[in-house]
Amino acid sequence: MKVEEFSADAWIDASLPLLEMKLTSESRAVVKLHLETAEKLSRLVREFELEDEAEPAPVYTP
Amino acid sequence: MTQAHLQSALQIASGVKSGETSAREIVEATYKRIADLNPKLGAFTSVTTERALARAAAIDAARRLGEPLGPLAGAPFAVKNLFDVKGLPTRAGSKINREHAPATADQPLIERLEAAGAILVGALNMGEYAYDFTGENAHDGASRNPHDLGHMSGGSSGGSGSAVGGGLVALALGSDTNGSIRVPASLCGIFGLKPTYGRLTRAGSFPFVSSLDHLGPFARSVADLAAAYDAMQGPDPDDPAQAPRPVEPTFASLETGVTGLRIARLGGYFTRGAEPAAFEAVERVASALKAERVVELPEVARARAAAYLITMVEGGALHVDRLRERAMDYDPDVRDRLIAGAMLPGAWVVKAQKLRRWFRARALELFGQVDVLIAPATPCRAPRSGQKTFVLDGQEMLVRPNLGVFTQPISFIGLPVVAAPVWTQGESLPIGVQIITAPWREDLALRVARALEREGIVSAPIGTAAS
């Protein structure tokens, strides 16, 4: 099955009903920019290999 | 009128204790200075005159009776307006929160500073909901750089930077999620301490990203920073993220110097993507400390990316209901980042939290070899007010999210940091370096900062641009 390329517009369209939210056109353009940045940065996180047993640190004690 | 109110907090306390000056004189002179300079600096959003004068009167009366006074007796301080101040709505830089009922109690760090004799004189401007590195606020206006009013204070604790840097107060408190203490400290040329994550209670402050939020002090001297920090330590069951640590005072060891400390520069990621001024500041500090060694933390760009995602997701989750109802009441620059954050997949943030624990383990390994790390605090001196983009390493990028490019990976794993200001002859604006230590070793970061201050390598003169 072919995986479609990332589209921030499609992402916004899918998310807005879930969030029960509307966007102005100005706001939508900026949200799109932020999603594109987040998607790019998320690759750095997603591509990093960690074991299944790796523990997250939601409440963190250094 | 004397200039006593322009002294450091500890000098003010010394004058008040000796009777050379009174707390009332200090408070009155402080409010006169705020009235004169705040219209230009945009640092304060509220003043607490009545309580400050009452507090000053109580301190002066105690002195007359021969009662012991606290180490910060009579020293004026102010807090970023996300701290609860009894009688004020905790606006957190927003239009929406100022409709809230006034806080019924002070944030505990305010109580602790006042127990040490300091006097709260007001609340300070900040980037809306702390999602900001510029110090610009759509509702309250910008907090300005005290060394050049045409430049940013940095944020999100921008008012804290302006107020301390401009000599309106000796001490201020701020918050730091990704760099919001260290960025304004760097741009305004003052000292800032971001303690270890979990050290100081956050109860009674408006949150941003619970996983990453810290509170801490600003000052124009390292001794003031240490004295304020020591006064604020201690357990608080109302902050579930606070770690079970004993009070570990730092003041007594401030003058012990750096002999025996293993100090290194951070290489790799921390040597790219900034203007030469940032690296020159690190070089000057490292040379003074004879820190020739360069060490690397692995995968710093991934760590920063993970902090960025956690911030977006937790920030978005905190605000999503308000955004649905009142999107138009937000600063547009903040609103659209929060909305985007509310849309991100949960799997990303869980992976980011796993990476956080991995990165922490690498940092702890590194601290087996070194005690102190030196790195830039910001990639440049203060950008111009309103500047939206800058060019770093030939790449144009947004100022607002990228001023914290060097601070974000460090707070990601909660390491304690002192931001210390470096000046270059002929330059009107300072730039900071980060003095980073292992968890719970704030004492070492403060010791190193004090050694540099004693040698004149770092300093925090009062900015005179608004005078």
Got the DSSP string for B348-363? Answer: HHHHHHHHHHHHHHHH
Q: Categorize the per-residue pLDDT at B170 as very low, low, confident or very high, splitting at 50, 70 and 90.
A: very high
Contact B305 A59 (CB under 8 A): no
Closest Cβ–Cβ partner in B243, B299, B320 for A19: B320
Contact A45 B302 (CB under 8 A): yes
Mean per-residue pLDDT over chain B, rounded: 97
Give the Cα separation of B188 and A21 in Å (integer).
39
Q: What is the pLDDT at residue B134?
A: 96
CB interface of B with A, residues 380-439, below 8 Å: 401, 413-415, 439
Probe site for chain A from B299, B336, B356 (most A CB atoms < 10 A):
B336
Q: What count of residues does chain A have?
A: 62
pLDDT tens profile B348-405: 999 999 999 999 999 999 999 999 999 999 999 999 999 999 998 888 988 988 999 9
The whole-number average pLDDT for the span B186-194 is 98
Does residue B339 sit in helix, strand or coil?
helix
Q: Give the helix/strand (H/E) hosting B216.
A: strand B214-219
The whole-number average pLDDT for the span B17-44 is 98
Our CA-based measurement puts residue A61 at a distance from the nearest CA of chain B, in whole angstroms, of 7
**Contact status, residue B25 vs residue B2, Cβ threshold 8 Å:** yes
Our CA-based measurement puts residue A55 at a distance from the nearest CA of chain B, in whole angstroms, of 6
Q: Categorize the per-residue pLDDT at B86 as very low, low, confident or very high, splitting at 50, 70 and 90.
A: very high
Our CA-based measurement puts residue B379 at a distance from the nearest CA of chain A, in whole angstroms, of 19
pLDDT tens profile B293-345: 999 999 999 999 999 999 999 999 999 999 999 999 999 999 999 999 999 99
Q: What percent of chain B has pLDDT over 90?
A: 97
Comparing CA positions, the residue from B308, B311, B310 lying closest to residue B129 is: B311
Contact A56 B415 (CB under 8 A): no
Residue of B nearest to A18 (CA): B343
Closest Cβ–Cβ partner in B211, B341, B355 for A50: B355
Give the Cα separation of A25 and B420 in Å (integer).
43
Number of C-alpha atoms within 13 angstroms, CB side, residue B377?
Answer: 37
Contacts of B356 (CB under 8 A, 6+ apart): A56, A57, A60, B303, B306, B307, B310, B412, B413
Amino acid B441 reads R
pTM: 0.97
Contact A44 B413 (CB under 8 A): no
Our CA-based measurement puts residue A6 at a distance from the nearest CA of chain B, in whole angstroms, of 13
Tell me: pLDDT of B48 over 90: yes
**Contact status, residue A46 vs residue A23, Cβ threshold 8 Å:** no
Which residue matches tokens 């990601």? B412
Number of separate helices (H) and strands (E) present in chain A: 2, 0
Which residues of A are less than 8 Å from B440 in CB distance?
A: 62
Tell me: pLDDT of B425 over 80: yes
pLDDT tens profile A22-59: 999 999 999 999 999 999 999 999 999 999 989 887 55
Q: What is the pLDDT at residue A55?
A: 85
Our CA-based measurement puts residue A54 at a distance from the nearest CA of chain B, in whole angstroms, of 6
Domain edges within chain B? 7-454
pLDDT tens profile B210-222: 999 999 999 999 9
pLDDT tens profile B146-169: 999 999 999 999 999 999 999 999
b/e burial code for range B126-141 (CB count within 10 A of at least 16 → b): bbbbbbbbbbbbbbbe
B4: number of Cβ within 10 Å: 18
Closest Cβ–Cβ partner in B196, B350, B354 for A62: B196
Contact A48 B299 (CB under 8 A): yes
Tokens representing B64 are 């007359």
Residue of B nearest to A61 (CA): B243
The whole-number average pLDDT for the span B255-260 is 97
Q: B7-454 in CATH: which number?
A: 3.90.1300.10
Interface residues from chain A to B (CB-CB < 8 Å)? 11-12, 15, 19-21, 23, 26-27, 30-31, 34-35, 37-38, 41-42, 44-46, 48, 50, 54-62
Contact B197 A60 (CB under 8 A): yes
Tell me: pLDDT of A62 over 70: no
From residue B62, give the alpha-carbon distance in Å to each of A42, A58, B12, B67, B210: 58, 46, 16, 5, 40
Residue of B nearest to A57 (CA): B353
Closest Cβ–Cβ partner in B335, B348, B413 for A27: B335
- The size of the A-B interface in CB pairs under 8 A is 114
Our CA-based measurement puts residue A27 at a distance from the nearest CA of chain B, in whole angstroms, of 6
Give the Cα separation of B80 and B109 in Å (integer).
12
Q: What percent of chain B has pLDDT over 70?
A: 100
Comparing CA positions, the residue from B163, B121, B159, B160 lying closest to residue B27 is: B121
Tell me: pLDDT of A60 over 70: no
Residue of A nearest to B241 (CA): A59
Q: What is the pLDDT at residue A59?
A: 57
Q: What is the pLDDT at residue B400?
A: 87
Comparing CA positions, the residue from B30, B310, B23, B298 lying closest to residue B168 is: B30
Q: What is the pLDDT at residue B401?
A: 85
Q: What is the pLDDT at residue A58?
A: 58
Contact B339 A42 (CB under 8 A): no
Residue B182, chain A, CB below 8 Å: the answer is no
Which residues of B are less than 8 Å from A41 in CB distance?
A: 305, 308-309
Active-site annotation of B, residues: 80, 156, 180
Give the Cα separation of B263 and B260 in Å (integer).
9
**Contact status, residue B38 vs residue B46, Cβ threshold 8 Å:** no
Between residues A5 and B128, which one has the greater pLDDT?
A: B128
